[in-house]
Structure formats: structure tokens, C-alpha cells
Amino acid sequence: MSKFVDHFPFYRQRQIFRRQQYQVSDATLSGWFNAATSLLESLYDVLIKELLQNNYLQVDESPIGVQDSHKKGSLHTGYHWVYHAPVEGLVLFKYDATRSIKAPQALLKNYKGTLQSDGYKVYQNLATAKQLKLLSCMAHARRYFEKALDNDYTRASYAMEQFQKLYGLEANIREHNTTPEVIKHYRNRYANPIFDTFYDWLVAQQSQLLPKSAIAKAVGYTLRLWKYLIGYLEDGNYLIDNNKIENTIRPLALGRKNYLFAGSHKAAQKAAMMYSFFATCKINDVEPYSWLHDVFKRISEHKANKLEELLPQNWKNNSIQKC
């Protein structure tokens, strides 16, 4: 909890213990952590299984420095690959030593569904190789135009207005909390005309721009990913962007500023496990301490074929927490 929710590295926790007149060594803290993660490994495997049963996933990746015995005096840059199932409210962090296609390929080897990502080429290659439906993140396209405001204010601000219209429609949808079927109909009725006009404008502008300018990069990025950007119109469960998964990565970024690096590749994966559980708690409005305390009491004797009951989104509404 202190490390992965409150972002206190172990050395800072030792200082807190010392102020309270308790002498707790590094080895003791590490031992507690290793024992805790060992207890939760089977539940983590269930989380992976549950997540992969969702036919719509968002994915992103975030770097983490890792101590590696083969790299004396420097840190290895590994990656936490983050998967979010928006419909069921599940989050999975999985560590890999690389940022190559091999990492998501290994997890998604049997996956058949829709993947939403930023414009990183690995995801497009993965979707092509596995015949997955790919969606892109509208927020990333918008950021390119935001960066281009100083380069070509007139064109960039026009594009920003189109994004504002699209996000205004999404705000209306959230206010009414309606069904996926109604959302799809609403988007097709009101967003499609915006996209038609925007696309024609982008094509017309492209030939007039200096190739290396910020506005040209924004237009080129958006046109290159166009079919993936408008794909969210096809299903009311789809989201317009990846902002939710980016929000789940923020605790990792905060923690990284404090503890700077993971002590080993194995430690980075154990951290991924804990971030997975606590992010899933947060997205389901589950108090993480209460959940973790209850799971530690129950998991050893809980039926192996019913471990999914202990996942945060099920635990919240399950009578098991009240027993």
C-alpha cells in the first residue's frame, strides 16, 4: 500500500518506522513484500484470464529503469505494458524488458478482439499480424495540433475546433448515461458529418504544407491513422480516446519519481502485479486497504476455481466481503 498507492519507497518507509521507534531492515521489508506478492500470484493469473475475455482492450506502455547485473553502472530501460478493459473495469500491468512487439504478442497470442492504442507502430503491426481490429486515440491526434498552434495558428485552431465538437458530443453522452446502442446511433448521426468535413479539409491542406512543419506532422499523423481514429463510431462501448488508461499509468509515474528504479526484472514484474490490483481497485471505486486486507485473510483457503470472486470489481458487490 505505502509503496504502490502512496508512492513511498522502502527507504522512506524505514524512516517512518524509525521515527515510531521500530527498527525494520531492508531485508525485512523485502521479505514482507515478496511474501505478499507470492500470495497474490494466483489471483494475478486470474486477472489476466478475465481481462483477455473482454473483446475490447486499450493498451499503452511506460518505461521503468531496472537494475541489471549485465549492465554495470547503468540502468536497463524496461517497460510496463498496461492493458485496460473499459467495459468490465479491469487493469493489467505486465513488465517486459523490451518495447518490441514480442511483449504484447506474448500476452495477446490467442486474443481476438479490438485493441485501442496510440500511434506506436508496434500496435499496428500486431493488429495486422493477428487480424485484430485497431482503434486509435483521438487525444493523441489532438495533441499534435495543439503543438502546432505556434507554427500555424489558423489551421491548427480550426482542427482544434473540430476536436472540441467531437468531445462535446462525448460529454453529452456521459451526461445521459445511455446504452451502447443509443450511443452508436447518436455518434453516427452527429459525429459523422463533423468527420466528413474535417477529412476533406485535412486532404486539401496536406499538399499546401511544408513537410517538416509541426502542422504538416499533425495533418499527416491524423490522415495516416484516420480509419483507426473514426473506428470508435462502430460500437457504443468504444471510447473516443485512451485517456482512461493514461490515467491508470499516472501512479506508476509518481512512484517512479520517488523510487527511481526497480531492483531487478523480477521486482519490476512484482510491481506490475501490485499496480494491476490497485488500479483495478481505483477504477471500481474500491478502497484498496480494505480489499487487500480481506484478500490476504481469505486467499489461502478460497476455492481455486472461484478466485475471480476476490478481484476488486467482484469483491465490491459480492457478499464475500460481508461474511
User: Mean pLDDT of all residues in the chain?
Assistant: 90
Share of the chain above pLDDT 90, in %: 75
Q: Where in the chain is the domain with CATH 3.30.420?
A: 10-133+243-322
Protein fold of 10-133+243-322: Nucleotidyltransferase; domain 5 (3.30.420)
In the prediction, which pLDDT does 188 show? Answer: 97
What is the average pLDDT across 58-65? 94
Burial class (CB in 10 A: 0-12, 13-18, 19+), 82: buried
Rounded Cα gap, residues 312 and 289, in angstroms: 11
Query: According to the per-residue pLDDT averaged within each range, which of 11-20, 123-132, 214-223, 262-271 is highest?
Result: 214-223
How confident is the model at residue 177, as a pLDDT?
Answer: 82
Predicted confidence at residue 319, as pLDDT, reads: 46
- Amino acid letter for position 15: Q
Alpha-carbon distance 202 to 323, whole Å?
59
Q: What is the pTM of this model?
A: 0.89
Which of the four pLDDT bands, split at 50, 70 and 90, describes residue 321? very low
- The residue length of the chain stands at 323
Q: Determine the Cα–Cα distance for residues 292 and 290; give it in Å rounded to an integer.
A: 6
- pLDDT beyond 60 at 322: no
Which of 69-78, 103-112, 162-171, 301-310 is predicted least confidently?
A: 69-78
